[in-house]
């Protein structure tokens, strides 16, 4: 008898997931800033919030935040562990189920690639389907800069990355912030995932909202 979980086609053949405050319940850059004390944490969180709300462009704050923090390689490894601990409830099972149905799942993030890759590995997503910003470190592991050429360090970078990929259609982008909403012209639908934070402007412009990964699976699989 056929498995009822594999006998129907998905509504979307590709799901593009944001990471910070979508797949995981933290903002990586804010977590790193907290390692520098309350003052740095407050200032970086303020800049992050304004960028996610669309008040500032990501271009205006990306390099500034990293220059304030200057995260070392061991701190990025610790951030990867924090991401794992903050994984959204039901996310691992949801991703596994989508992949089992033949849905291609990608992570597209303005976060730090070296911290996100271990999360993707845990979800059994290939490194080629992880798009994020790489950092540089010197021989001692000290911060030496970031990939300033990456489009993902800019406001419309997620749109440019998705436009450059040959993805199975229909495609669904899922996120919580203004930089995620920027993907909308390149996909068939955008869902605001509000399980960790609900940004009113983003939710208002989304095709629909989901509050959890269980609801996301229901939206993708009929």
Give Cα separations from 9 to 5, 101, 180 (angstroms): 10, 7, 26
Instruction: Convert 14-51 to b/e letters by CB count within 10 Å (16 or more is b).
Output: bbbbbbbbbbbbbbbbbbbbbebeeebbeebbebbbeb
Q: Which of 187, 179, 182 is nearest to 220 (CA)?
A: 187
Would you name the residues annotated as active-site residues? 18, 20
Q: pLDDT at position 1, please?
A: 41
Distance from C-alpha of 111 to C-alpha of 119, rounded to nearest angstrom: 12
Q: What is the pLDDT of residues 87-136, one digit of tens each?
A: 999 999 999 999 999 999 999 999 999 999 999 999 999 999 999 999 99
CATH of domain 4-220: 3.40.50.1000
Q: Percent of the chain beyond pLDDT 90?
A: 81
Q: Which of 182, 185, 186, 191 is nearest to 209 (CA)?
A: 191
Region of residue 171 (phi > 0: left; psi between -120 and 50: alpha; otherwise: beta): beta
Give Cα separations from 139 to 74, 122, 142, 143, 180 (angstroms): 13, 28, 7, 10, 34
Q: pLDDT at position 5, please?
A: 53
- Stretches in the chain below the pLDDT threshold 50: 1-2, 4
φ, ψ dihedrals at 111, nearest 5°: -80, -170
Q: pLDDT at position 6, please?
A: 52
């Amino acid at each position: 008898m056929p498995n009822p979980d594999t006998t129907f086609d998905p509504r979307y053949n590709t799901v593009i997931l944001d990471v910070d405050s979508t797949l995981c319940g933290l903002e990586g850059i804010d977590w790193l800033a907290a390692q520098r004390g309350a003052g740095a944490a407050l200032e970086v969180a303020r800049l992050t919030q304004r960028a996610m709300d669309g008040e500032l462009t990501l271009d205006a704050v990306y390099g500034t935040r990293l220059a304030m923090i200057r995260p070392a390689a061991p701190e990025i490894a610790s951030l990867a562990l924090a991401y794992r601990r903050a994984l959204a409830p039901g996310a691992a099972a949801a991703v596994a189920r989508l992949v089992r149905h033949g849905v291609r799942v990608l992570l597209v993030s303005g976060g730090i690639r070296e911290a996100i890759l271990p999360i993707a590995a845990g979800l059994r997503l290939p490194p080629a389907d992880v798009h994020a910003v790489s950092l540089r470190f010197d021989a001692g592991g000290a911060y030496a800069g970031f990939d300033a050429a990456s489009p993902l360090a800019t406001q419309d970078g997620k749109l440019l990355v998705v436009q450059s990929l040959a993805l199975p259609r229909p495609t669904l982008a899922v996120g919580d912030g203004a930089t995620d909403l920027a993907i909308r012209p390149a996909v068939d639908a955008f869902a605001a995932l509000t399980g960790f934070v609900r940004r009113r402007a983003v939710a208002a412009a989304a095709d629909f909202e989901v509050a959890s990964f269980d609801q996301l699976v229901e939206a993708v699989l009929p």
